[in-house]
Amino acid sequence: MARILLADQDDVLRRYIARQLGRMGHAVVPVTCPRQAVGQLMPGAFDILIAQADMEGIDGPEFARRAAAAVPGLRIFFLDGFRVLPLKEGARIVLEEETLEPAFHLNRLAHVIDNLLAA
């Protein structure tokens, strides 16, 4: 299973997702803000970063650049429709048809995590 850093400002949603991912067997570290998330990012500590795309004080693309710089190859997924693909040169934002909108089913999130781990 995956080691996941979950960054979301919404307390209810963050706790719910963390609990459900834990029940699926993933090791989840929930944080409330990008500063906490970047502080947790160390090579080898996490497989996946799941984050709210627009958090207080930082936008999704900048957050992705910082996370990718801290941990090259980190798989990053934004809950509200953006996915960041790891590249040797850094990270780039890619809009996809199969992304998670704010109202999503946990089975879909589990499928996305499986796909990221397989990539």
**pLDDT in 10s for each residue of the chain, 119 residues:** 899 999 988 888 889 889 989 999 999 999 998 888 888 888 899 998 888 877 777 777 788 788 888 888 888 888 775 444 444 445 555 544 444 555 566 777 788 788 888 87
- The label of the residue with tokens 């999704």 reads 60
Number of domains in the chain: 1
Q: What is the pLDDT of residue 10?
A: 84
Rounded-to-integer distance, Cα 72 and Cα 82, Å: 18
Q: What is the pLDDT of residue 89?
A: 47
- The label of the residue with tokens 């780039």 reads 92
| Full domain range(s) for residue 109 | 3-118
With beta carbons less than 8 A apart as the criterion, state whether 59 and 80 touch: no
Burial 66-97, CB ≥16 within 10 A → b, else e: bbbebbeebbbbbbeebbbebeeeebeeeeee
CATH number at residue 40: 3.40.50.2300
